[in-house]
Structure 1
Amino acid sequence: MAKILVIDDDVDICLMLCDVVEVIGHQAEYAKTLGKGVDMVLAGEYDVVLLDVNMPDGNGLEALQTIRSVARPPEVIIITGVGDPDSAELAIRNGAWDYIQKPLSSQKIILRLKRVLQYNDSLKSSSARAWAFSRQGIVGDSSKLNTCLDEIATASSSNGNVIILGETGTGKELLARTLHANSRRKEHKFVVVDCASLTETLVKSTLFGHERGAFTGADRSMEGLVKQADGGTLFLDEVGELSLESQKVFLRVLQEHSFRPIGGKSEVESDFRLISATHRDVDKMVCEKQFRQDLFYRLCAITIEVPPLRERPEDIEQLVTYFTNNLCRRYSIPPKEISPDFLEALYGYLWPGNVRELYNVVEAAVSTSNLEQQLCSQHLPTNIRIHAVRSSIKKDNDSGAGSTPDWPAVELPPFKQYRDGIRERAEKQYLGRLMEISRGSIKEACRISRLGRTHLYALLKKYNISKTGWSE
């Protein structure tokens, strides 16, 4: 029996949906406010949440990430009286299962619920495999990273072509290796093709190999990368850099899984699984005739998007600790502590180079600190220290929750990121002041803030605020 929660301010709709759920043999509960509904999700384990968008105390879409951040996240079906394509896209991108418009019919709801519950059952049946999933050195526990890893785990159980999209430095190759290591092909090779370095003259020789004497200088036979990946995984790194001629070559290999080495007299077969990665907008490249549409469709049977580091700042401390410990072992120096001001400076930076840039910054800091026991902000590069100081001064000059993040003049962030930045600053400031006023009393803090105990604990954990952090 599944457990389903309805969050809607219309009691009649709540009761109707609960009746539908119970008719098909499942348990239903409802909440008339968004705050109450989120508290119930944080306190219990639900399989599905039917969530309204326009609630008296908030927007359901803005609560999606909180609902999906619990240890065992429920699937969320958005129900709304005003359908909006942009809101529907936002809902799906933030993890919603479906987005349906009122008026609601019993048939429409039952169909959605049966589909989502069948999906949940299939996940439970493969729980033993999910339990054994190897992260391969991937560090972080943010909801966005975990969603990405869930997609990697699902893809590893299939044999379809996968394309991994993400900005430079987000760890696309590491995720590709993780996918391979959790697949049925893990005992065979993971072969990397650096598409950016493939030249027109060498592409066929590099991919397909050649026979001895096939051309001047071919004094011995050479096996190509495609054959080396036989039984394993062929990884096309930065596939967006392929020339149109190279794309044509790859298309035939993907169709036939066979090729002829240069100078060879017969076709050679290779049973490989293809994973691609790129930081470029391939959809746009297809529209501009820079990338073959037929090849693009073959590459993206499964699409996985890697979140940039600025969208998962809660992972920064774990990453810094992991990098620091590894670097200290490599350099054979004593472990180093990490000061709060060091982390604070890193939190405020936008990380255009993502995790790779963070690693380089930590490596430079460890080298600069030499035998000092603690990493401090003084060990950081000048540009990050300047950004931290500018942000601090601007925050002091701005008033209350209306303060805005100090974005670089050359880069205006997306609206949602800008809005979330303001909201997170305000929430963190409020919670710190709340703990000070209540002197660490959760009961008193709940009375003042009118937050549920579970919700308050979740927010304190999210912002790493201790209830005993107030001053005497």
Structure 2
Amino acid sequence: MALVPVGSKGIGHVSSLTPDLNMEAKSGFSILLIDNDQSLLAPLQKVVADGDASISYAASVHDGLETCTECSFDIMILRDELTDGPASFAIAEFQAVTDSPEIIIFSETGQVDQAEHALKAGVWEYLVDPLPAEALATVLKRALKYRRNKATEATDSLQVIRSQLARRGIIGRSAIMQNCVDQAVRIAQTEGNILIYGESGTGKELFASAIHSLSSRADHELTVVDCAALAPSLIESTLFGHTKGSFTGADRAQQGLIQQSHGGTLFLDEIGELPLSSQKKLLRVIQERTYLPVGASSEQKSDFRLIAASNRNLNAMVEAGSFREDLLFRLKTFYLELPPLRLRRSDIAELAYYCRDSFCRRQKLKKKTFSPDYLMLLTAYDWPGNVRELQHAIERSMTEAQESPTLYPKHLPSGIRIQVTRKKLSQEQSAGPDDLPPPSLSAGDDEHLPTLKEVRERAVALQEKTYLTRLLRVTGGDIKKSCALAGISRSRLYDLLNKYGLTGRSPQDNPSL
């Protein structure tokens, strides 16, 4: 790994596989340039010549990720094609290990798929310029100005909001989740339509409720409509209402859910399940905020904020002809995509504590502690059912454990344990023994020569495993002491222990967590 800090103190070089606990604390704004060469350092250094910021350098995606585990960066500048792969497809990894940086991707030619992926991930800018030095300097100035303004905002109120959201069940300190929270807070201050996308169990209704509670309509109702549960013959009367005698069984007039949401928020969950005929009528409602009750001769008005959600790819449905394109355009004034749990594994432990505490409050039970093995297994599982599946697994574990004060892997459903075991065995079989030395590079074996990336990754893995083994021996396997000594978070340590099949000693869990 090559890390070159650049600033008022000159240029230095740090090469290390483990955190340097003596590294000088960061002051001002930190910038990381990830490029195949250092030629862009000089023009970018001129931008920070006043000492307000410092620039560090890494030569590859791998080196950049290693650097981010040791330092937090405000701005990251990445070349689109690096020696170990496209930078655009590593954005989620950078967001997971550093604190919500402004990410700038630059390219001399541009790649459509990479640009689309980068912009969807929320990068500050995707810059295409055959001579990027001057343009990057301009973009960096704008990004620094934005970051300075962001730093001087009233962060106390944002922290209060985040605490409120946590009490509502929106849990997660990962960068990707905090980005969703920040987006939700900003969107809540507007009146535009919102489309929330996410897999089943990612918390779409929780976010819709949070946006409503933070909006100017919080004093009115949030009307939730599960479009998947509406009978096709009753969709229009349920949404628009009906007059007396408008159809068989309509013995009295009935107000629809759209009118009930007047002054408040209308949440259409799983909107992709609506048939095309209903989509057409809903289109006018969204455009004009007017609707025609079944059997009525005159339209009525309803003032509501619209939030829609779907776990289906509506763009693909448009191409297939099962969803109206004009309706999709009107739904997506604002777009919020919630990440699956497998992409924010660092949040799993915090979510597990929240689910445990909620279950104990409801059932009036004494809190149980989690063994390190239990949390490591939770982190290793892919959670296809996302947070909802995690919640059910925790509740089942609490029931299975009975009088045991601590939860162990054996208390989890067997399907989860089997999936994690299969995944681990598959990885071991494909990767080979970790403890074997790097392959010989003797003459005559050129056709079997591994790539530089493979050699580097294997060497790093061997050093990491050796370090962690010694760390556990020094601390007696105590997780808290190991985190303090290594200078990493508990969730990061669990990830590494799980990766190398190591186990820490059960700590005295804090029941207040």
- Counterpart selection for 2:55 from 15, 29, 38: 29
* Separation in 1, partners of 2:391, 2:472: 38
Q: 1:202 to 1:122 in 2, by over 3 A?
A: farther
Is the 2:89–2:117 contact (alpha carbons within 8 Å) kept by the matching residues of 1? Answer: no
User: Offset of 1:111 from its aligned partner?
Assistant: 4.9
Equivalent position to 1:178, from 193, 210, 213: 210
For residue 323 of structure 2, what is the amino acid of its counterpart?
F
Shift in CA distance, 284/40, structure 1 to aligned 2, threshold 3 Å? closer
CA spacing shift, 1:131–1:170, aligned 2, 3 Å: same
Give the letter for the 1:352 counterpart. Answer: P
What runs of 5+ residues in structure 1 fail to find an aligned partner? 404-422, 443-453
Q: What is the one-letter code of the residue matched to 1:206?
A: T
RMSD across aligned positions (CA):
3.9
CA contact (8 A) 2:32 2:58 kept: no
Paired position in structure 1 for 2:260: 228
| 2:425 is the counterpart of 1:399 | no
Displacement of 1:290 in angstroms is: 0.4
Which secondary structure does the structure 2 equivalent of 1:191 belong to? Answer: strand
What is the match of residue 9 of structure 2? Answer: none
Q: Which amino acid aligns with 2:158?
A: A
Deviates more, 1:25-34 or 1:90-99: 25-34
What is aligned with 1:412? none
1:148-168: CA deviation from partner (whole Å, max 9, x where unpaired):
222212211222111111111
Q: What's the counterpart of residue 131 of structure 1? A: 159
1:407 corresponds in structure 2 to none
Pair 1:97–1:458, CA change in 2 (3 A): farther
Q: Deviations over 1:343-392 (max 9, x none)?
A: 33333322221111121222222222223322222222222232344445
Q: Which amino acid aligns with 2:492?
A: K
Identity of aligned residues (%): 37
> After superposition, what is the alpha-carbon deviation per residue over 1:271-313, rounded to whole angstroms, capped at 9, x for unaligned?
1111111111111110111001110110111111111111122
Q: How does 1:313-352 map to 2 (within 5 A)?
A: 313-352=345-384
Q: Does the Cα contact within 8 Å between 2:105 and 2:126 map onto a contact in 1? A: yes
Corresponding letter in the other structure for 1:29: I
Equivalent positions of 1:32-431 (< 5 A) are 33=59, 47-53=74-80, 60-61=87-88, 64-65=91-92, 67-69=94-96, 72-81=99-108, 83-104=110-131, 108-109=135-136, 111-113=138-140, 115-117=142-144, 119-120=146-147, 123=150, 125=153, 127=155, 129-133=157-161, 134-135=164-165, 136-391=168-423, 393=425, 399-401=432-434, 430-431=463-464
Distance in 2 (CA, whole Å) between partners of 1:2 and 1:437 is 35
Deviates more, 1:242-251 or 1:172-181: 172-181
The 3-state SS of whatever aligns with 2:410 is helix
**CA–CA distance in structure 2, aligned partners of residues 440 and 300 of structure 1:** 54
Distance of aligned partners of 1:323 and 1:269 in 2 relative to their CA distance in 1, 3 Å threshold: same
**Separation (CA, whole Å) in 1 of partners of 2:108 and 2:434:** 31
Displacement of 1:10 in angstroms is 3.7
Asked if structure 2 preserves the Cα contact closer than 8 Å seen for 1:64 and 1:95, the reply is no
Q: How far did 1:225 drift?
A: 0.7
> Is contact 2:373-2:408 (8 Å) kept?
yes
Select between 288-297 and 45-54 the one with higher mean Cα deviation: 45-54
Pair 1:433 & 2:448 matched: no
Deviations, residues 155-188 of structure 1 (Å, cap 9, x unaligned): 1122211111111111111111111112222121
User: After the TM superposition, which segments of 4 or more aligned residues of structure 1 sit over 6 Å from their partners?
Assistant: 35-45, 56-59, 423-429, 438-442
Contact 1:189 1:229 in 2 (8 A): yes
Distance in 1, matches of 2:299 and 2:387, equals: 42
Q: Distance in 2 between matches of 1:151 and 1:31?
A: 30
Q: Is the 1:169–1:357 contact (alpha carbons within 8 Å) kept by the matching residues of 2?
A: yes
| Distance change >3 Å, CA 360–CA 30, structure 1 → 2 | closer
Q: How many residues align?
A: 440
**Does the 8 Å contact 1:9/1:31 carry over to 2?**
no
Give the secondary structure class of the aligned counterpart of 1:274. Answer: strand
Q: Is the 8 A contact 2:196 2:204 kept in 1?
A: yes
Residue of structure 2 in register with 1:451 after alignment: none
Cα distance between partner residues in 2 of 1:281 and 1:57: 31
Residue 14 (1) aligns with residue 41 (2)? yes
